[in-house]
Chain A
Amino acid sequence: MPEVYLDHYAATAALPEVVEEMKPYFSEKFGNPSSLHGWGDDARKAVEEARARVAALINAEPGEVIFTSGGTEANNLAVKGIAWAARKKGNHVVVSAVEHFSVLHAARTLEKFGMEVTEVPVDSYGMVDPESIKEAITSDTVLVSVMTANGEIGTIQPVQEIAAAAAEKGVGFHTDAVAAAGYIPLDVKTMGADAVSIASDLLYGPKGVGALWVRKGRRLMALLDGGVQEGGRRGGTENVPGIVGMGKAAELAARDLETRAEYLRGMSSELLKWLPESIPRLSVTGHMEKRLPWNASFVVEFIEGEGMLLFLDQKGIAVSSGSACTSRALKGSHVLTACSIPAEIAQGSLLFSFGLDNKPEDVDYVIETLPPIVERLRQMSPLYDKFLKQGGG
Chain B
Amino acid sequence: MVEIAQYSDTVMDHFMNPRNVGEIESADGVGEVGNPVCGDMMTFYIDVDEDERIKDVKFKTFGCGAAIAVSSMVSEMAMGKTLDEALQISRGDVAEQLGGLPENKMHCSNLGADALHKAIEDYKSKKAVKEG
Contact = CB atoms under 8 A, between A and B. Distances in A.
Interface of A: 302-304, 306-307, 309-311, 313-314, 323-326, 328, 330, 332, 343-344, 347, 379-383, 385
A330 B102 CA distance: 12
Given A380-B21, A383-B41, A307 B15 contact: yes
Contacts of B64: 304, 306-307, 323, 325-326
B92 interface: no
Centre residue among A307, A311, A383 by max chain B CB count within 10 A: A307
Interface string B16-30: 101001010000000
B63 interface: yes
Task: Classify chain B's interface size.
Answer: 20 to 34
The A interface, classified by DSSP as helix, strand, loop or mixed, is: helix
A332 B16 CA distance: 24
Given A310-B4, A325-B109, A330-B104, A382 B68 contact: no
Nearest to B104: A330
Nearest to B37: A343
A311 B1 CA distance: 11
A314 B32 contact: no
A325 B39 contact: yes
A382 B108 CA distance: 17
B68 A307 contact: yes
The B interface, classified by DSSP as helix, strand, loop or mixed, is: mixed
Contacts, number: 80
B42 interface: yes
Contacts of A302: 62
Given A380-B21, A382-B61, 9 more contacts: A302-B62, A303-B62, A307-B63, A323-B64, A325-B109, A330-B108, A383-B62, A385-B23, A385-B43
Interface of B: 1-2, 4-5, 12, 15-16, 18, 21, 23, 32, 36-43, 60-68, 104-105, 108-109
A313 B4 contact: yes
Nearest to B71: A380
A314 B4 CA distance: 10
A326 B62 CA distance: 14
Contacts of A382: 32, 41-43, 60-62
A314 B16 contact: yes
14 contacts: A303-B62, A304-B63, A307-B63, A307-B68, A309-B4, A310-B4, A326-B5, A330-B108, A344-B37, A347-B62, A379-B21, A380-B60, A382-B41, A383-B36
